[in-house]
Structure 1
Amino acid sequence: PNTVELFQIWMNLPADDKMVDPYFTMLWSEQIPRHVHLDDAGREAVVTVIAGRYEGLTPPAPPPASWASRPEADVSILHLALQPGAMVTLQPAAGAETMRVLYVFEGSVMAGGEDVATSTGAVVDASQPAPLVAGPEGAEVLMLQARPIGEPVAQYGPFVMNTEAEIQQAFADYRRTGFGGWPWNTPDPVHGRDVGRFAHHADGREEHPDVAASVDASPAES
């Protein structure tokens, strides 16, 4: 069976950046930093730093127009994998307006004295330390954090804009150009099962991951 778990995380753009040129960044697994916590009982929690900073670790830069590229946005995306009973504490966010959501997709955790079960999201106070304790089966958690953009949102299907008129314009643009021009003759091209991982960029560059470039952190008590 296919054991891959896939999350599609949508991040809004401020109105001033919604019409910027498209930009694509591939974050290879080998380049994403991981920090290993050992609690007082020696139980392990592995924190993967997808966006933002954590324990001095910083992942590759996001696209330049992304909300995550602005320090004042206080964006952080973490994947936490906790052994049964393991404890780890998330430190307060930098900004007073920052919102923080925990999504538990495996096992369960105790967060701020509240039990959060599998397939459950919980909004936690980002201004306070957030101790997480895994249940008896362990846990996997996504932590999503950012300061709200504070602008109107209009959304339909895959289109997210600020007004209904902009949504209609996005529909018209898509019908006319297919998001700027689709270079393949089918809507679902494949590259064959024998082709390894690669990223093909708009400027013609083809990028392949360097499997030797691992940035995993050593275990540390914290």
Structure 2
Amino acid sequence: MTEKLRTVTRIVRGDATADGAGVQLKRIIGGAELDMLDPFLMLDAFGSDKPQDYIGGFPPHPHRGFETVTYMLAGKMRHQDSAGNAGVIEAGGVQWMTAASGIIHSEMPEQEEGLLAGYQLWVNLPASEKMSAPRYQEISAEAITVEQHDDGLTIRVVAGETRQGNTGVIDNPFVDPLYLVVDAPAGSQLNEQVKEGHNAFIYLSKGKLNVADTARSIQAGELAVLSDGDALRLTAEQDSSFILVSGKPLNEPVAKGGPFVMNTRAEVEQAFADYRSGQLVQ
């Protein structure tokens, strides 16, 4: 059966901004250029060798109605939350936190050799799960499968399943995500399956990529929204590092209010009221 190759439909560069206690980052999804890509609500990329850009971290703050996914490229992030979870995400590790009905957490950076870098992705929850009990998954770098290709390309399989049959360490039945962290030396190729009907994107942190032999290559610092299809073929034109992410769209109303994402404005207002009265966390 002939594969339906995905192509690039849109390029997004994102906006420089600050969050938490002054952490400098780039907001690629959830900003002015791309409000969301269902089920993905936000994607932030952070990375600096200047401690003043990140040392304030993210002091205690609430969430309800979605999941946060933090992947560390360099340095560490210390997590603590109202559900009693605590841990340190190190380089190559991932934290997948399901805020659901409500959680208050802090994320405090710990640099290594002055450097901190990583991604945070917000993944929406269906209406049926927004008020379920919070969950927390923290996976070390050593527990994540690394797929090695003959041309030097490597894939860290965080979520989903690759064409070669390697599966991710994250359990998420709601949007059936694919989350691959790829390092591709110049000249290497990725031929990967991506489920048809799922929204998908590539974010390139370093290098230059060409998708499906098209005229416009993806440059470092760009997010490429992909067309629908069941396969992806790309070539690294330079030594490249990127993430490939896809998920099943929920196709539900979305109401955003700062740290809360619900289906209606009334539900967002209730979340704020619950937080102010101390009822957000049960």
TM over 0.5: yes
The separation in 2 between residues aligned to 1:116 and 1:178, in whole angstroms, is 46
Deviation of residue 33 (structure 1)?
0.8
State the Cα deviation string for residues 96-119 of structure 1 (Å, max 9, x = none). 321111111111111122300111
Gaps of 5+ in 1: 63-67, 182-222
What root-mean-square deviation, in Å, do the aligned CA atoms of Structure 1 and Structure 2 show? 1.8
The separation in 2 between residues aligned to 1:118 and 1:50, in whole angstroms, is 22
Q: Are 1:162 and 2:263 an aligned pair?
A: yes
Partner of 1:59 in structure 2? 168
The separation in 2 between residues aligned to 1:74 and 1:25, in whole angstroms, is 16
The separation in 1 between residues aligned to 2:260 and 2:241, in whole angstroms, is 30
Partner of 1:107 in structure 2? 207
State the Cα deviation string for residues 59-82 of structure 1 (Å, max 9, x = none). 2242xxxxx324xx4410111111
Q: How many residues align?
A: 167
Name the one with the larger strand percent: 2
Deviation of residue 126 (structure 1)?
4.1
Query: Which 4+ residue blocks in structure 1 deviate beyond 6 angstroms?
Result: none
The separation in 2 between residues aligned to 1:133 and 1:105, in whole angstroms, is 15
Partner of 1:45 in structure 2? 153
The separation in 1 between residues aligned to 2:173 and 2:139, in whole angstroms, is 14
Matches within 5 A, 1:116-195: 116-136=218-238, 138-177=239-278, 179-180=280-281
Partner of 2:57 in structure 1? none
Deviates more, 1:13-22 or 1:112-121: 112-121
State the Cα deviation string for residues 27-70 of structure 1 (Å, max 9, x = none). 121111110112xxxx31111111111122222242xxxxx324
* TM-score, L = length of structure 2: 0.55
- Note if contact 1:91-1:128 (Cα within 8 Å) is conserved in structure 2: yes
The residue type equivalent to 2:257 in the other structure is Y
Higher relative contact order (CA 8 A, sep 6+): 1
The residue type equivalent to 1:108 in the other structure is K
Name the one with the larger helix percent: 1
- Note if contact 2:158-2:170 (Cα within 8 Å) is conserved in structure 1: no
| DSSP-derived class of the 1:5 partner | strand
Partner of 1:199 in structure 2? none
The residue type equivalent to 2:254 in the other structure is V
| DSSP-derived class of the 1:170 partner | helix
State the Cα deviation string for residues 134-178 of structure 1 (Å, max 9, x = none). 123x11111110110000111121111111111111111112227
The residue type equivalent to 1:170 in the other structure is A
| % identical aligned pairs | 29
The separation in 2 between residues aligned to 1:129 and 1:59, in whole angstroms, is 18
Gaps of 5+ in 2: 1-112
The separation in 2 between residues aligned to 1:14 and 1:74, in whole angstroms, is 12
